Structure 1
Amino acid sequence: MKNRYDSEATINDILDVATALFIEKGYEKTSIQDIVKGLDGLTRGAIYHHFDSKDDIISAVMRRMFPENDYFAQLKHRTDLTGLEKLREVYLESIFNDQVQSFFMQSAALLKNPRFFVEYMKVNASVFSPQIMELLDEGNADGSLDVKYTKYVSEVVLLLLGTWFVQEIFPVTVDEFREKIYATKYILDSIGIDLLNDEIMKKTMVF
C-alpha cells in the first residue's frame, strides 16, 4: 500500500477527482470524504499522505497548470541556449506540452472562482515569476536581452502571457486571439523582449 500511496499516479488520481468535484460541487461544498469516495479503493490516509489539507490540494491543482520544476532545472543548465532562447523554450513548453495543456484545460474553469484565481496568481508570483526573472537576468548577462527591473518585468510577462489569455476570464474569438498575440508581441518588443519572433508567431497562430 505504501508504494501505491507514494506513486505519482496516486497524486494525479487525487487531483483529477478533486478538480472534477470542485467544478461540479464547488470548493466549499467538496469535502475530503467526497474526494475519497471518488478514488478507487484509496482511503483518507492516501490523501493526507500527500496533502495536509484541502487548501494544499487547491495549490497542487493550480500548480499543474504550469511546466514542471524539473523542466526549468534542465533548461537552466543548458549551455547551448541564451537567456532569450530559454525564454522562448519556456513559452513553447507552456502552450505545446500536451500534459500541461491537458491539466490547464481541465482546471481552467475553476479560475472563475475567486478562491482558485487567487491561488493561481500566488503560484504565478511565488513559483513561476522567479524562474522567469532568472532567465531575464541570464539574458542580460549574455547580451541576448537588455531588460531593466527584471523582477517586476517577470511579473508583467506572466500576467500578459498567462492571465490575459485565460479564456474563462478574458473570452475572445479566434480573430481576437490573433490580435491579442500581435498586441502581446508589440508590448514585449517595446520593453526589449523579442520573445515572439517570426518562427514562434507562426507556431502560435496555428495553435
Structure 2
Amino acid sequence: MARIAKDPQERRNEILDAAMDLFNTKGYEHTSVSDIVKRVGVAQGTFYYYFRSKEEIAAAAHERSLSARLEFVKEITQDRNLTAAEKLRKVLLQGFPAPETDQVILEYLHDESNSILHQKWMVAKITAFTPYLTMIVEQGIEEGEFHVTNPREVTEFLLVGVSFLFDRGIFGWSDEELSRKYQALGGILDRLLGGKDIIPANELLGNLP
C-alpha cells in the first residue's frame, strides 16, 4: 500500500497535536519521542525532520497557542460594535490567559530549570499583546472612558503586572490569596486607566484559574 504524502504543515500540526494530547494524559516528563511517533504512526526520523527535540515541541505549542489567541484579540480590537471597556474585558478575561489545554506546558515552564525560558515566553506574550491593547486604550481615551496620557506605557505596565502577579508558578499563591488579588484588580484597573467599573469584581472572580 502506497504511503499517503501529507502537506508539511499538516504533518507538523499532526505531530504537535499528538504530542500535546500525550503531554496532557501522561505528563510532559513521562512522554517520549517514541510515544509521539507511535501515536502519529510515522518513523522517528519524520519527527526529527520537523522538531529537533521534545523541548522544541513545547515551544511550538506555545507559539501556536499565542498565535491563535492573538487572532482572537485582533478580531476583538477591530469590532466596531464594542466599546473600549468591553474590548478590554474580553481580551483580559478570554484572550490573554492561557487556555486549559496549555496547562501542561505551563507546568513544564514552572520547573526551576526552565526559568529563563519561562521569562522569555512571558516577554514574548506581553510584547505580542501590547500593540492590540494599546489600540483599545487609545479608543477608550477617544470615547472619554479612559483618562491617560501615555497609553502604550500604561498598557505595558498592565500586561507585565497581570502576567507576573497572577502566575502561580512564580509566586505559588493559594486560591484564597489569588482570589483577593483578583478582587483588587478591578479597582487597580480603574485607577490605572482613569475609568469606572471596567471589569467588575464578579467577572474577575469568575475567571479565577
* TM-score bin, normalised by smaller chain: 0.7 to 0.9
Q: Percentage identity across aligned positions?
A: 20
> 1:195, CA displacement in angstroms?
7.9
Q: Aligned ranges for residues 4-19 of structure 1 at < 5 Å? A: 6=10, 8-16=13-21
For 1:158 and 1:108, the matched residues in 2 are separated by 18
Letter of the 1:62 counterpart: H
State the match for 1:205 in structure 2.
205
Per-residue CA deviation, residues 25-83 of structure 1 (Å, 9 max, x unaligned), is 7xxxx9xxx5354232234435644x577775444333426862221232122111122
Indicate the SS of the match to 1:144.
Answer: coil
Greater C-alpha Rg:
2
CA contact 1:82–1:139 (8 Å) conserved in 2: yes
Contact kept in structure 2, 1:58 and 1:119, CA below 8 Å:
no
Distance (whole Å) between structure 1 residues aligned to residue 93 and residue 6 of structure 2? 37
Q: Is the CA contact (8 Å cut-off) linking 1:15 and 1:60 kept in structure 2?
A: no
Go from structure 1 to structure 2 and tell me whether the alpha carbon gap of 1:110 and 1:53 turns closer, same or farther (over 3 Å shift).
closer
In structure 2, the partner of 1:35 is: 33
Q: State the AA in 2 paired with 1:107.
A: I
1:130-145 matches, within 5 Å, as: 130-145=131-146
Contact 1:140 1:147 in 2 (8 A): yes
Counterpart in the other structure of 2:192: 191
Structure 2 counterpart of 1:165: 166
Alpha carbons of structure 1 residues 192 and 91: separation in structure 2 relative to 1, 3 Å: same
Change (3 A) 1:197 1:136: closer
What's the CA shift string for 1:156-177, capped at 9, x where partnerless? 2122222211112112222211
Provide the rounded CA distance (Å) in 2 between the counterparts of 1:181 and 1:72.
Answer: 21
Please tell me the residue identity of whatever aligns with 2:109.
Answer: L
CA–CA distance in 2 between the matches of 1:110 and 1:203? 29
Query: Are the structure 2 counterparts of residues 104 and 11 from structure 1 closer, same or farther at C-alpha, using a change threshold of 3 Å?
Result: closer
- Give, as a single letter, the amino acid of the residue that structure 2 aligns with 1:13: A
Larger RCO (CA under 8 A, 6+ residues apart): 1
Runs of 5+ unmatched residues, structure 1: none
C-alpha displacement of 1:5: 5.0
What is the RMSD of the two structures over their aligned residues, measured on CA atoms? 3.5
Q: 2-side partners of 1:194 and 1:187: how far apart?
A: 10
Structure 1 CA distance, aligned partners of 2:135 and 2:48?
34
